Structure 1
Amino acid sequence: MNIRSIGPALALSLCLACNNATENQTTAAAETTVDGGQSTVQDDESAKDIAKIAVGSKDHSTLVAALKAADYVNVISNAGPFTVFAPVNAAFDKLPKGTLDDLLKPENKDKLRSILEYHVYVGVLKDALMSDGLTYGMASGDNATIGNKDGKLTVNGVNIIATIPASNGIIYVTDGVLLPPAK
């Protein structure tokens, strides 16, 4: 084999090797891509966002099921900031029999979304901003009224029983479900 034939053969070999490396990198990247949004990000170091806190709470499994049915888990995982009034499981039990099951049906997704949006304020409402009688516009477009009597907070008369800070806002745990005003 002479020197002239080695050059092209070497160039061809290098091209094929580079092409295979690129294909392997592309395949590896495709295999590690995860479908989903912000809620699928694995991060055990940072403070948890609202969705991760709710998913990790045994008292909020019904709320998480509703968020999943409405395709809203990723929404409340985003940067926010959000204030979420999060009903505990027992709060959903107070609804008329069959209401929750009906809301979780795919054909009622818009109605479920409207109810969930009524539990979210875009921004952070710290306790200092929760004065008696103040009204805030919720993500649904409807207003909710804060009650503050002797330091006991309510929203539309529903008791706020705990406050949990999150990386993307704040959660006020409630003992009732907020229902938007009838239109």
Structure 2
Amino acid sequence: MRFKNLIPFIMVALLISATTYASNTTDPVKDKTVAEKTNETEETIVGVAAANKNFTTLVATVKAAGLVDVLNGDGPFTVFAPVNSAFDKLPEGTVGTLLKPENKKLLTTILTYHVVAGKFKAKDVLQAIKANNGKFVIKTVQGGKLSASLKNGNVILTDANGNTSKVIITDVKASNGIVHAIDSVVMPK
């Protein structure tokens, strides 16, 4: 699989996460309507995220980074999108600091680290993990790498710093790719 174009996916994931952070009042794992409603849409990745209250923080960050046009592009992209509660796990003030215009480059780097070029459904990720002895290295659009593995039946992403995030919702369809919701923001080096 080629991951050369994964950066746009990561950017979308961060956009979705930022939107989620700003207005999340529902647990996305318990609120299955999040996945159900979004799977029925023919919206782009940005449209899917913007229509979902669990991604308000991500959407806000995508807008601040100027990545809306990229994530509305043809793709296809796979985005590992942090939900609002994922942004809540960051140290206090982190999101506010990242949203400042002077931090646009850093925000873009973080967001594109959540995007992968290509369309990778959950079954594709699972097959790749199994085919690679339990660990699948994914190149992001940002240029860094994420490692996908299985733990207790869940796909776990490990970032460049050794931090982990669990995939909590899979295969949310968009007209230009796939969104997988994650429970923590992953960070590049």
Q: Would the TM-score normalized by the shorter structure come out above 0.5?
A: yes
What is the aligned partner in structure 2 of residue 54 from structure 1? Answer: 49
User: Per-residue displacement from partner, 1:33-67 (whole Å, max 9, x unpaired)?
Assistant: xxxxxxxxxxxx97111110000010100000000
Higher RCO (C-alpha 8 Å, min separation 6): 2
1:141 aligned onto 2:148: no
AA paired with 1:158? S
What is the aligned partner in structure 2 of residue 169 from structure 1? Answer: 177
Decide which of 99, 110, 131 is 1:115's aligned counterpart: 110
SS at match of 2:149: strand
SS at match of 1:74: helix
State the alpha-carbon separation in 1 of the partners of residues 73 and 120 from structure 2.
Answer: 17
What is the aligned partner in structure 1 of residue 120 from structure 2? Answer: 125
Contact 2:41 2:174 in 1 (8 A): no
1:72 aligned onto 2:74: no
Task: Give the TM-score taking structure 2 as reference length.
Answer: 0.69
User: Per-residue displacement from partner, 1:99-143 (whole Å, max 9, x unpaired)?
Assistant: 111110000000000000000001112223321310011011000
What is the aligned partner in structure 1 of residue 166 from structure 2? Answer: 159
AA paired with 1:170? I
Q: Percent identity?
A: 43
Unaligned segments of structure 2, at least 5 residues: 1-39, 159-163
The alignment of Structure 1 onto Structure 2 pairs a total of residues equal to: 137
Contact 2:79 2:116 in 1 (8 A): yes
Task: Give the TM-score taking structure 1 as reference length.
Answer: 0.71
State the alpha-carbon separation in 1 of the partners of residues 153 and 173 from structure 2.
Answer: 18
SS at match of 1:140: coil
State the alpha-carbon separation in 2 of the partners of residues 146 and 129 from structure 1.
Answer: 12
User: Per-residue displacement from partner, 1:133-180 (whole Å, max 9, x unpaired)?
Assistant: 100110110000001235311211201000212111100001100111
> Cα RMSD over matched residues?
1.5
